Structure 1
Amino acid sequence: MIRLTGPVLRVGLTGGIGSGKSAVAARLVERGAVLVDADRVAREVVAPGTEGLAEIVAAFSERVLDAEGALDRAALGAVVFADETARRRLEAITHPRVRARTAELVAAAAPDAIVVNDVPLLVEVGLAPTYHLVVVVQTAVPTRLERLARDRGMDRAEAERRIAAQADDARRRAVADVVLTNDGSLAALHAEVDRLWHKRLLPYEHNLRARRVVPPGRVEVDPTWPEQYARLAARIRHALAPADLRIDHIGATAVPGLATEDVMDVQVAVPTLADADGTLADRLANAGFPRVPGQWWDDARPAGSGRWEKRLHGSADPARPVRLHVRVAGSPGWRYALLTRDHLRADPGRRAGYLLHQRELADAAPVVSGSGTARDPWFDEEYLRAERWAAQNGWRP
């Protein structure tokens, strides 16, 4: 029996004003999610009688209070809106308290909970890498304007001003692991949320606790692989902080236009393999990248000349397979991964051969392979070609 351990699955939920984010949050709660509402937490930490409100009054005077002694948000906004120093002073009071209260609510969730953080300014504040998954609700601007007028009585000029003050759709999509489109009916939105819950969130939560790795996906070409890698790298970098380790996109998905298995190869460089164990391994597992059991090596070049030891992690996210190779910075295996990638990027004629050998060995390789096609003689030839190309072009990792 698997002993289930580890953190709860944390999902960041965001979307522009009028997008229907609250409807998504409510449906996720119906399915069983634990909701942490950032706006509610922000109000809670400055409620009457709190240290947060007392510190705001000390900083900005009682002019920011209403007749009942509660925070007058409009009055406070008038003070800080056009004053960068004042705004930063306010954030220094409220942000640590919001983070601390959010952490308390997450810690209070059950071990098998799926915690959804509803954060309107998730993109603007740069919080995306702190979650296992980011869900963005996207709705056409005309539809949002119509909803704000109908549901909130907001005039068009004010609605347009608020929409313009937030991140646009392109910035939200850049951090989104999942985009839920909400231009249709509520029933259609609920169906999308239900699919997300059953097909991705529930399996992801179980895999995270079980530290289970998902297998590679089908062979395809996906032009969004670079954007997907950027999100993964940001999440990995956040998990490993304060360590500042080099992270690279390697393998076939790092070569534009190359059809390959839908599995993202990522390389993390460490000073020594001892640094890859213990705390680092736990941090990666808690971020959704568990260690693959066993010992792992890359076959040295030329074939038969030895092996290069490494550590291998995978992904717990059922919709985003990953092979995360942890190698010593400057080692032959680390260098070879970067050289092969850059040579294939530079030489279109080698890409078809690479794909052919990937496919030929895929059926015989383990589900999560640490070396796989590296044993094929084709790679000895590729190694010699790549080394000649590196020497001719002055390539360095």
Structure 2
Amino acid sequence: MLRIGLTGGMGAGKSTVARILADRGAVIIDSDLVAREVVAPGAEGLAALVDAFGADILAADGSLDRPALAAKAFGDDESRATLNSITHPLVGQRTAELIAGAASDSIIVQDIPLLVENGLAPLMNLVLIVDVPEGIRIRRLVEFRGVLESDARARISAQATDEQRRAVADVLLDNSGAPDDIVPVVHRLWEERLLPFEHNLRTVTSAHRPNISIVDPDPDWPAQAQRLIARLWGACGALASRIDHIGSTAVPELPAKDVIDLQITVADIAAADGLRAALGAAGFPVIARVTHDNPKPTDADPDGTNVVLWAKRLHGAADPGRVANVHVRVAGSPGQQFALTFRDWLRADATARVEYTEVKRAGAAKAAGLIGEDAMLAYLDVKEPWFDAAYERALAWRAAGD
């Protein structure tokens, strides 16, 4: 199932976005409500809090007196750690139960105010940030919630900054306008991105662009790659030794297809196969038909015919809003080394960048009017001969540097 993280600063209006998504059929898991549920009267969490902090944290009706708890739990780091050690596992357990109880084709939206602060973004398939300038949020809190301006500023300053939220945002939802302005934006997001994403995830299908198009370099490509890399680390754990942004989008100022290429380095091909399920759950289903790179001559294989040396596993992002390829290669293999060398060579050699741009544009021209596999084959028919020659040039550049 598709897991969406939703957050935003105080006064941004994320509850409005959650409501619209719920109306479209999303399963909303509100972390604030879950946090209250696990310390409700009779709950295991409340009993544990009483044991840790005393019975005077209870109100007359037996419910949790939150100000009384705060006075004790936030007085020092040790008390705060005790509080977190009790509540956080229970919230996590209850959240997991709610997710497990949802239908397999659900779009789950986890409404988490402290998603950024608690480093939870990499655990989501997609992160939505409701984005509103701080000044507007303060005004809303004062005018519509009756919060003192000084209190509003203090509470906002204790949260993540706008820049920190934007850094993890796959989607920025501008909610700074009139109350109804956000409604059609969220509906389009549901129809054009979330529904297709869920379908791709469930059917083990990668998103792709039907046509070959070379676009101007996007300065946001590196940041997009880093968000994907953070997710991949969460999926791979110790099975990966490194994860890199490779390919044309990793080279500043280089025109490219708007596709992020990433490389996961593993110890052996068995480890690559062992990542299949985890990468799929993270939003990167396997592309089973691809089992190796195009072989090139090496010292170990002068004829360039041994596909085993060039073995890899390929996964593609299921998110139609951010097409990406994830190449899983073995450490020290020709393909793994060449991916890094080629990227670094292009970064260093302006002439090579110009040549490669011309080749890619020629390939795109040959693919014009074609779609899908036909378009890619026409593109590669132009690109691969130059690529084969570039292999030797890139290796020579690396050897000269060594």
The answer, yes or no, to whether TM exceeds 0.5 is yes
Q: For the residues of structure 1 that align with 2:40 and 2:376, how far apart are their CA atoms?
A: 51
Q: For the residues of structure 2 that align with 1:386 and 1:31, how far apart are their CA atoms?
A: 51
Matches within 5 A, 1:121-200: 121-200=114-193
Cα distance, 1:61 vs. partner? Answer: 1.0
Cα distance, 1:323 vs. partner? Answer: 1.1
Amino acid at match of 1:45: V
TM-aligned CA distance change 1:372 to 1:327, over 3 Å: farther
Q: Is the 2:4–2:125 contact (alpha carbons within 8 Å) kept by the matching residues of 1? A: yes
Q: For the residues of structure 1 that align with 2:3 and 2:188, how far apart are their CA atoms?
A: 18
Q: For the residues of structure 1 that align with 2:38 and 2:99, how far apart are their CA atoms?
A: 16
Q: Deviations over 1:315-342 (max 9, x none)?
A: 1100111111111111011000000001
Cα distance, 1:380 vs. partner? Answer: 3.6
Identical residues among aligned pairs (%): 49
Amino acid at match of 1:92: S
Cα distance, 1:361 vs. partner? Answer: 3.3
1:109 match: 102
Cα distance, 1:117 vs. partner? Answer: 0.3
Deviates more, 1:302-311 or 1:148-157: 302-311
Q: Say whether residues 1:305 and 2:301 are aligned partners.
A: no
Q: Is the 1:215–1:368 contact (alpha carbons within 8 Å) kept by the matching residues of 2? A: no
Q: Is the 1:323–1:368 contact (alpha carbons within 8 Å) kept by the matching residues of 2? A: no
1:381 match: 389
User: What is the count of residue pairs matched by the alignment?
Assistant: 385
Q: For the residues of structure 2 that align with 1:57 and 1:124, how far apart are their CA atoms?
A: 27
Cα distance, 1:368 vs. partner? Answer: 7.0
Q: Say whether residues 1:325 and 2:321 are aligned partners.
A: no
Q: Is the 1:358–1:373 contact (alpha carbons within 8 Å) kept by the matching residues of 2? A: no
Root-mean-square deviation (CA, aligned residues, Å) is 2.0
Cα distance, 1:237 vs. partner? Answer: 1.0
Match of 2:181, SS state, is helix
Q: For the residues of structure 1 that align with 2:350 and 2:163, how far apart are their CA atoms?
A: 31
Cα distance, 1:82 vs. partner? Answer: 3.7
- Structure 2 unaligned spans of 5+: none
Q: Deviations over 1:50-77 (max 9, x none)?
A: 1111111111112322222211211222
Deviates more, 1:28-37 or 1:294-303: 294-303
Q: Is the 1:302–1:380 contact (alpha carbons within 8 Å) kept by the matching residues of 2? A: no
Q: Is the 2:240–2:265 contact (alpha carbons within 8 Å) kept by the matching residues of 1? A: no
2:282 match: 287
Cα distance, 1:352 vs. partner? Answer: 1.7
Q: Deviations over 1:207-241 (max 9, x none)?
A: 11011111147422211111111110111111123
Cα distance, 1:152 vs. partner? Answer: 1.4
Cα distance, 1:301 vs. partner? Answer: 3.0
TM-score by length of 1: 0.92
Match of 2:275, SS state, is helix
2:247 match: 251
TM-aligned CA distance change 1:252 to 1:359, over 3 Å: same
TM-aligned CA distance change 1:373 to 1:103, over 3 Å: farther
Q: Is the 1:357–1:373 contact (alpha carbons within 8 Å) kept by the matching residues of 2? A: no
Amino acid at match of 1:377: P
TM-score by length of 2: 0.91
2:344 match: 342
1:238 match: 234
2:12 match: 19
Cα distance, 1:372 vs. partner? Answer: 3.9
Q: For the residues of structure 2 that align with 1:227 and 1:142, how far apart are their CA atoms?
A: 26
Q: Deviations over 1:137-162 (max 9, x none)?
A: 01111211121112211010000001
Q: Deviations over 1:7-36 (max 9, x none)?
A: x10100000000001100011101111100
Q: Say whether residues 1:361 and 2:363 are aligned partners.
A: yes
1:273 match: 269
Q: Say whether residues 1:43 and 2:51 are aligned partners.
A: no
2:201 match: 208
Match of 1:219, SS state, is coil
Q: Is the 2:130–2:172 contact (alpha carbons within 8 Å) kept by the matching residues of 1? A: yes
Q: Is the 1:299–1:375 contact (alpha carbons within 8 Å) kept by the matching residues of 2? A: no
